[in-house]
Amino acid sequence: MIVKDFYNFLDELSPFELQEKWDNSGLIVGNMEDKFEKVYVSLDLDEKMLQRIEPNSLILTHHPLIFSPLQTVNFDSYSTKLLATLIKKDIKLISMHTNIDKTHLNKYVASQILGLDIECGEDFICYSEVNMSFDKLEQLVKKKLNLKFSKTVQCAKNIKKLALTTGSGMSLISSIDADCFLTGDIKYHDAMEAKSRNISLIDIGHYESEHYFSPLMIGLIEKYLLKNEIKAIVSASQNPFEYK
């Protein structure tokens, strides 16, 4: 298979034009006419993972390896070090980031992982009427997402409506119309802002809420690839954080 055919399939699935202006989704490494023999799916790239991946493959990630323009390629940074390995092994790289967030990932985590009845618009936010105590909601979220610890801001004993955005969504706080917001990467001043708005928070982690990208994408692309005799493989990157 050539990259262009797979890229066009992905573009129909979740149009790359939906990505945010600051994003860098799409073909990151390789050419549209390049051929590949296997597809590996992962949230991110890391060095150990790249060692396992066979040459002449294609990797589909959620997070783009490159965001800002590279001014030097001296192989001592995260992106350039991995870029060197990709080129040497003739591995192509496509990323689906904010476009797949909007069309699939937030809905998938909210409905399939957390088991919520949801309503999602055209942006990053999914809503659900939950009508449960904050404590019960916290325990449900912690269990379903396999969180190692709880990091919360509680503004009410009972939660009628919650909002969810996977990854890092606190920049959306001014748009949240709910009693509780589930997202990741919540910082100290984010918590203060939420308290002032009387919005409870449950930090669902960045890696913890977005590593579901891999099973989601396997389910969406596997049949198409099999028709073209291409194998899809989950090759999970590691969470850079350790919790002790």
* Secondary structure (DSSP) of 26-44: EEEES-TT-B-SEEEEESS
Two tokens at 94?
Answer: 């496509």
For residue 162, what pLDDT is reported?
97
Q: What is the mean pLDDT of the chain?
A: 95
Q: How many domains does the chain have?
A: 2
Angle CA 144–150–166, to nearest 5: 55
Read off the pLDDT of each residue in 68-80 and give the average, rounded to a whole number.
Answer: 83
> Per-residue pLDDT tens for 149-205?
999 999 999 999 999 999 999 999 999 999 999 999 999 999 999 999 999 999 999
If asked whether residues 39 and 129 sit together in one domain, one would say no
Asked whether residue 243 is domain-assigned, the answer is no
Two tokens at 12?
Answer: 């129909």
How do 119-120 and 58-61 pair as beta strands? unpaired
For residue 121, what pLDDT is reported?
81
One-letter identity of residue 189: H
If asked whether residues 118 and 187 sit together in one domain, one would say yes
What's the CA gap between 156 and 238, in Å, rounded? 35
H or E segment and range at residue 126 = strand 126-133
If asked whether residues 146 and 77 sit together in one domain, one would say no
For residue 77, what pLDDT is reported?
84
> Per-residue pLDDT tens for 191-227?
999 999 999 999 999 999 999 999 999 999 999 999 9
Split at pLDDT 50, 70, 90, the class of 5 is very high
For residue 6, what pLDDT is reported?
98
For residue 76, what pLDDT is reported?
80
Tell me how far the alpha carbon of residue 237 is from its chain's centroid: 12
Split at pLDDT 50, 70, 90, the class of 118 is very high
For residue 12, what pLDDT is reported?
98
* Secondary structure (DSSP) of 83-101: HHHHHHTT-EEEE--HHHI
Q: What is the CATH number of the domain that holds 136?
A: 3.40.1390.30
Asked whether residue 188 is domain-assigned, the answer is yes
Query: Which are the contacts of 235, defined by CB distance < 8 A and separation ≥ 6?
Result: 40, 41, 42, 49, 52, 53, 59
Angstrom distances, CA of residue 115 to CA of 33, 36, 103, 141, 152: 41, 37, 18, 10, 20
Asked whether residue 240 is domain-assigned, the answer is no
Range of the domain at 174: 100-204
Lowest-pLDDT choice from 3-17, 53-67, 74-88: 74-88
If asked whether residues 118 and 199 sit together in one domain, one would say yes
If asked whether residues 89 and 132 sit together in one domain, one would say no
For residue 97, what pLDDT is reported?
98
Asked whether residue 33 is domain-assigned, the answer is yes
